[in-house]
Structure 1
Amino acid sequence: MVRGKTQMKRIENATSRQVTFSKRRNGLLKKAFELSVLCDADVALIIFSPRGKLYEFASSSMQATVERYRCHNRDAQTATRFVEQNMQHLKQETATMMKKIEQLEIAKRKLLGENFGSCSVKELEEIEQQLERSARKVRERKIQVYNEQMEQLQEKGKTLAAENARLSDKYHSLAKQARGKNHCENPASLENSPTSEVETNLFIGLPETRGITLPPHVV
């Protein structure tokens, strides 16, 4: 069960209020001292009673701590002002960019042939001229890309032709070396090879009947 928070309010009885102030003041001063000792913190505590009496505690120098607080507060305020100014500047830039984007969207739709109803003759002429300039630039770029591709293909063709010539020379050189090697190892191989003598007679029948004269009625 969750208990509701007790609402804190001012003590109406003056005596009770003074007693509570003394107890809480002493407890707060004690806690401030303990915090400075246990955590090595620079603590400064200033209390004014309802009657205007001052109670204070400082772990080092009250003046130095207060001055340090003032410097920190000034830096924080400066940083806050800088952030606010920067945010305002960003808002203005955002609004300007939104207007530019809107104008670009309108111009793009007009270039696409849309929303011509509110255009005057002069605006239509300007759009026409802009489209012609764009088309001219596209054609120029197209020709440039085409020429670059042609040059690349020509260079590639030259490279392939040179490689083909190199491989052809290498093949002929290897074939020549192979023929020279075979001639050195067996000079008579070419003369006694089966291709040196070719039989031109046609024989019919089994191989063992070659060279046997057959009777005329068999032929």
Structure 2
Amino acid sequence: MVRGKTVLRRIENAASRQVTFSKRRNGIVKKASELAILCDAEVALIIFSPRGKLSEFSSSSMQEIIKRYVMHVKNSNKEIKAPEQFVQQWKNEVANMAKKIELLESYRWKILGESLESCSVVDLNELESQVEKSLSNIRGRKYQILSEQIEQLKERERTLMEHQEALLHEVESPVKETTEEVNESEDVEVDTELFIGRPGSRRQCMM
């Protein structure tokens, strides 16, 4: 038969309540001592009776365990507050970045010659100097790119000329060989005399 779950409630009888307290207290102290011995744990137990009487147990110095507990609580509170500090720090960084973006956007419009109403003469002179410097850098970069492209075109032209010369040499070689063969064939003497009769006879008929 399955035993039902015991419902815990306050013991109304004072004598029974005191007896139960004494038994349970001794049992808890015993369990705490066993836990400290078996598991090499630091255990501190503090109990106040209904009459205010203090009962305590500690596996080592009670004061050292309490100090360690207080330090642990402080560190836990710091860890809990840390994310809030990070959030605030991120908010500040986002605000600073937004200000920088706004300043850069305003400066960009001024470089383009717009939104100049709030600029003084000093600001305008500075903008003018910056624009001239930017134009100088742009022209320098443009001339550098053009020079590189011209050198590439010259190199390509040299390559094409060398390829053309090679093709001309390949074409001229067969023509030269054919011309030499024709000249050699013209230098061969052709015998045009006509011989009549049996082989060996030297009767000759001139044509």
Aligning the two structures, in what range does the TM-score lie when normalised by the shorter sequence? 0.5 to 0.7
The correspondence of residues 1-219 of structure 1 with structure 2, limited to 5 A, is 14-29=14-29, 31-32=31-32, 40=39, 42-50=41-49, 51-56=52-57, 58=59, 62-63=60-61, 67=64, 70=67, 74=71, 77=74, 91=88, 95=92, 98=95, 101-102=98-99, 105=102, 108-109=105-106, 111-112=109-110, 113-114=114-115, 116=117, 119=118, 123-179=119-175, 183=178, 188=181
Distance 2:175 2:66 in 1: 103
Q: Is the 8 A contact 1:109 1:115 kept in 2?
A: no
C-alpha RMSD of the superposition? 4.7
- For residues 95 and 143 of structure 1, the distance between their equivalents in structure 2, rounded to whole angstroms, comes to 41
1:9 and 1:129 map into 2 onto residues whose CA distance is: 88
Deviation at 1:9, TM superposition (A): 9.4
Cα distance, 1:157 vs structure 2: 1.3
Give the number of equivalent residue pairs: 172
Q: Secondary structure at the match of 1:56?
A: strand
Q: CA-to-partner distance for each residue in 1:61-111, whole Å, 9 max, x for gaps?
A: x13x97477457547746866996997698479548736744762674474
Unaligned runs of 5+ in 1: 1-7, 193-219
What are the ranges of 5 or more consecutive residues in structure 2 without an aligned counterpart?
Answer: 1-7, 186-207
2:168 partner SS: helix
Percent identity over the alignment is 20
Given that residues 47 and 55 in structure 2 are in contact (C-alpha distance below 8 angstroms), is that contact kept between their aligned partners in structure 1?
Answer: yes
The structure-2 alpha-carbon separation of the partners of 1:141 and 1:24, relative to structure 1 and needing over 3 Å to count, comes to farther
Give yes or no for contact 1:29–1:45 (8 Å, CA) kept in 2. Answer: no
Q: TM-score, normalised by structure 1?
A: 0.51
TM-score (norm 2): 0.53
> Aligned partners of 1:22 and 1:115: how far apart in 2?
88
